[in-house]
Amino acid sequence: MEKARILVQGIVQGVGFRPNVYRLAKDLELKGCVRNLGNVVEIIVEGEKSDIQTFMRDLKLKRPPISKIDSLEIQWLEADTSSRFIDFQILESSKNFSGSSVIPPDVATCDSCLGEVMKRADRRYNYPFTACTDCGPRFTVISSIPYDRERTSMEEFPLCPECLVEYENPVDRRYHAEATCCPFCGPEVYLFREGRIESENPIKEAIKLLDEGNILAMKGIGGTHLVAKTTEDLPIQDLRRRLGRMNQPFACMSPSVETIRSFAEVANYEEKTLKSRNRPIVVLKKKKDYFLSPNVAPELHNLGVMLPYSALHHLLFLYTDEPAYIMTSANKPGEPMLIRNQEIIEKLDGIADYYLLHNRKIINRCDDSVVRFRGRELAFIRRSRGYVPEPYDFSRIGKDLNVLALGPEIDVTFSLFKDGYCYVSQHIGDTTKYETFKYLQEAIEHLIAITKTERIDMLACDLHPMFFTTKLAYELGERFECPVLKVQHHHAHAAALSMDWGVEELICIAADGVGYGEDGTAWGGEILHSWGAEYERLGSLMPHNMPGGDLTTRYPVRMLMAMVYPHYDKDELIGLMKKDYLDYFPHGKPEVELIYRQLERGFNITKTTSTGRVLDALAVALRICGERTYEGECAMKLESAAYQGEDIFELPLKIFKINGRDILDTSQILLSVLEKKIEDESIHNLAFSAQKAVSQGLAELAIRAADRTGVELIGGSGGVFYNEAVSMTIKDVVEDAGYRFLQHRNSCAGDGSVSMGQAAVAALSRK
């Protein structure tokens, strides 16, 4: 007879881990007990040594679906005969523990729950809030820890006797399922327009209204969606007009992979991700015979689709034959998603025709996650619902330092590094908007609370002095009486990528829109050598003028003019703009001349090495996109155009040096494009070749940096790496040169992981 103590760490609380331990121990006839000890689960077992070893293996192999084991430790104890257990027991959790327990993310409705919802005889038949320990909301309903029902938004719904029996039975699927409920004790949905609309079946009624062309605001699990039909143009046009988002692609929800296959290509790895418990939106290529309205994702070769992730969504599709509905976050542009009933009604007045609401509070909003594939490699565009707040293991940096990092300005997440874990927050958004900035502050307080963080040793933020996040970092620095470290944007990208792969040193191609550079200019096409908390800028794209600063981002024709300005004489350039590009100047001919004068005199001009701006200029040169109305629009449309093309024009590359830095002459690429005849037949091939030239150029710069430093790893970070063709070309060129190429795999390539990089640099700087 042997006795052992096993300590398990990871996502092991609130996920049915203890009842599972109980069942596994019972199956092997082991005696002992299991209990929660704050951040670990402790198991004591007695039995034959071989059975205990089998038990150890089973713990890893037969664990509950949502759980995750980070570490499993076994200590063999003296088996003294006096303290023998007579059975296996689940003990009450110790209430006064210290240390953080890892809270699991929200998880899509499991098959068992779905079976009940669809089964007429079940008491949860048609019930939209059905959940169990294997599924349902977690992060979005928790207000503080330990994770118990009274500290969730379910506290307002006391369990009925039947639910209570399930909740207290260790072998039931709903044992301590904090979000469990039923139609008799749980929340309810209702339809609303001006007042509550009484209905036998509000979900069925809502679908009828949708199919008649109405726009519905639907409060879901972690947020609210605006919902509309996708097979007709009119409802989507209405929605766009009312929201003032004329071109931005909308994501949609479809009932099954089979249905998605009728309008989009789904590779097997994409299918797996669509069906995963995390249920992100997956960006898929439209099929040749795509038949949804072109207004869903205008002028793009792809669109974002997700499968239902709550019983409510599954029920929606029960009453319709529609293949998909638009499901876009319900918010005013740039503001956080609406989650409170009153707010939803007030702020969406004039946008939604009807509301499908419910009476459970959303404690934390959590936007849908978005991923896409580059080849077979998954890329997170937004890592939020279904993934957050699951932390990254940063223990190699240290375990006793707490760092709070606030991210950049627009596509913000924040990160908390604590006990060796890095918690990257849900998507927060554009902090220049007052409501979003407030949301950032609330979300910080919440994460601090649910991780039981009592002190912060260091704050990290962007280098930009004027960002609201920078100012907030200094305020919080005072509150926590700790230093603030400013981290350069692209350095943070490189550090996030290094942490994602657990590497110490790499050459990083950081390619994106813009980030504030050490020299005060707008960086965005950078080759950085990054190691530990240090970095050096070894190469970049050619610095160009941005006449009118931010106006250049909105109207890329300004960028086009600035990039070719040194290569044309005055009449030639003004003539070219007036002849071929006049439509893209909102103020017509006088504006062309004004911008020319601006370039001549160097007035109101900033410099940039941004890759995004170069892609924008190429898009406008090819007349693919003349105005950016949403983030990344021109570059995305360039990618879509290039997707239909092939590389018949080989555009030459020119690399030169400034102050020892390798510089890619991006004007040369643009000039080569302008030399060709730009017409319908050539646009796609030119887009392909131009995009390829920029990619090859970036790869070439990185290879030179690697050759020079002897570093063997080259990585890619920044929003440009969402472009499948760009990312695959760079990978090919880098690998052909004999280097390994790393891309973000568990973190966002874009600015969603900047806070994580800031946290890493700050922590490493203290090491």
Site residues (CB under 5 A) for Zn ion? 110, 113, 132, 134-135, 160, 163, 182, 184-185, 512, 718, 751
CB nearer Zn ion, residue 390 or residue 512:
512
389 preceded by a cis bond (ω within 30 of 0): yes
Is 518 in contact with 540 (CB distance < 8 Å)? no
Q: What's the token pair of residue 214?
A: 């109405």
List strand residue ranges (DSSP E) for 419-543, in order: 421-424, 458-462, 484-487, 505-516, 522-531, 534-541
Closest CB 605 distance from Zn ion, rounded Å: 22
Neighbouring residues of 757: CB distance < 8 A, sequence distance ≥ 6: 487, 491, 492, 493, 494, 495, 496, 497, 499
Residue 45's H or E segment, with its range, is strand 40-47
CB nearer Zn ion, residue 127 or residue 387:
127
Closest CB 660 distance from Zn ion, rounded Å: 25
Closest CB 546 distance from Zn ion, rounded Å: 17
Residue 679's SS3 state is coil
Closest CB 718 distance from Zn ion, rounded Å: 5
Question: In angstroms, rounded to a whole number, what is the distance separating the alpha carbons of residues 14 and 529?
Answer: 42
Closest CB 347 distance from Zn ion, rounded Å: 30
Is 67 in contact with 19 (CB distance < 8 Å)? no
3-state secondary structure 344-361: HHHHCECCECEEEEECCC
556 preceded by a cis bond (ω within 30 of 0): no
Question: In angstroms, rounded to a whole number, what is the distance separating the alpha carbons of residues 59 and 18?
Answer: 11
CB nearer Zn ion, residue 184 or residue 291:
184
CB nearer Zn ion, residue 186 or residue 249:
186
CB nearer Zn ion, residue 132 or residue 142:
132
Question: In angstroms, rounded to a whole number, what is the distance separating the alpha carbons of residues 226 and 329?
Answer: 6
Closest CB 28 distance from Zn ion, rounded Å: 26
- What does DSSP assign to residue 151? G
Neighbouring residues of 128: CB distance < 8 A, sequence distance ≥ 6: 117, 189, 203, 310, 311, 312, 315, 358
CB nearer Zn ion, residue 402 or residue 469:
469
Closest CB 184 distance from Zn ion, rounded Å: 5
CB nearer Zn ion, residue 47 or residue 750:
750
Residue 740's nearest CA partner among 714, 704, 705 is 714
- What does DSSP assign to residue 286? B
Closest CB 136 distance from Zn ion, rounded Å: 6
Q: Where are the alpha helices (DSSP H) in 182-232?
A: 202-211
CB nearer Zn ion, residue 157 or residue 565:
157
Q: Which long-range contacts (CB under 8 A, 24 or more apart) does 703-707 make?
A: 703/733, 703/734, 703/737, 703/739, 704/538, 704/539, 704/655, 704/662, 705/507, 705/527, 705/529, 705/538, 705/539, 705/662, 706/507, 706/737, 706/739
Closest CB 572 distance from Zn ion, rounded Å: 35
Residue 671's H or E segment, with its range, is helix 666-675
Closest CB 144 distance from Zn ion, rounded Å: 24
Closest CB 508 distance from Zn ion, rounded Å: 12
CB nearer Zn ion, residue 32 or residue 104:
104
Closest CB 180 distance from Zn ion, rounded Å: 8
Parallel, antiparallel, or unpaired: how do β-strands 661-664 and 713-717 relate? unpaired
CB nearer Zn ion, residue 132 or residue 215:
132
Question: In angstroms, rounded to a whole number, what is the distance separating the alpha carbons of residues 561 and 580?
Answer: 12
CB nearer Zn ion, residue 311 or residue 651:
311
CB nearer Zn ion, residue 490 or residue 684:
490
Question: In angstroms, rounded to a whole number, what is the distance separating the alpha carbons of residues 476 and 459?
Answer: 8
